[in-house]
Amino acid sequence: MQVKTEKTPINDVVIIIPEIYQDDRGFFIEVFRKDKLDEIGIPSSFVQLNQSGSVKNVIRGLHFQWDPPMAKLMRVVQGRAFLVAVDIRKGSKTLGKWFGREFSSESKHMLYAPAGCARGFCVLSDYAEIQYLCTGIYNNKGESGILWNDPEIGIDWPVKDPILSYKDGKAQTLKQWLNREESNNFNYE
């Protein structure tokens, strides 16, 4: 597996570009290979794989988990989606900054965002499926979210009238999160 990476404006958020073996039969990629991720500095202690399917204009996020801290390696396995990471780590030079880009099942690029980043996406195609490898087991008592349209973050979502869950539509702002005791779990060093 040959892995290329592309840095983003947020510390530790990385685009992973896997090598694609393609011929007239189709394609093959190595989605996860511990030794190669270790070589490029991506923690490879994934313990859970999630997959969601959504229709066009759905926004899911911005989600994160502090107990246990959860990093995610996200990829679009069907369709197209705008994947987003927001730095919510106290002391980080990029605190409150966001990175977003279109990802697709055709490109096969992946987005790694460490614990201490809120993650989300919006669906651009009629339907999309997103997989995320997680470094922590899901714990509903140790997870939360940031409001998708928090004006202090200012994400430029490529959708006008998003479809949201009730929970995502009523999430806290980054400022509210940073005032919570649990936010101290994400200090940047």
Residue 166 a catalytic site member: no
Number of helical H runs and strand E runs in the chain: 3, 13
Residue 63 a catalytic site member: yes
Print burial letters for 106-129: b (CB count within 10 Å at least 16), e (below 16): eebbbbbbbbbbbbbbbbbeeebb
CA distances to 20, 29, 108, 155, 164 from 96, rounded to whole Å, are 34, 34, 27, 10, 22
Reading the block at residue 43, the tokens are 């923690």
Of 132, 138, 166, 188, catalytic: 132
Which is nearest to 74 in space by CA: 15, 3, 8? 15
Of 63, 112, 127, 188, catalytic: 63
Question: Mind telling me the catalytic residues?
Answer: 63, 132
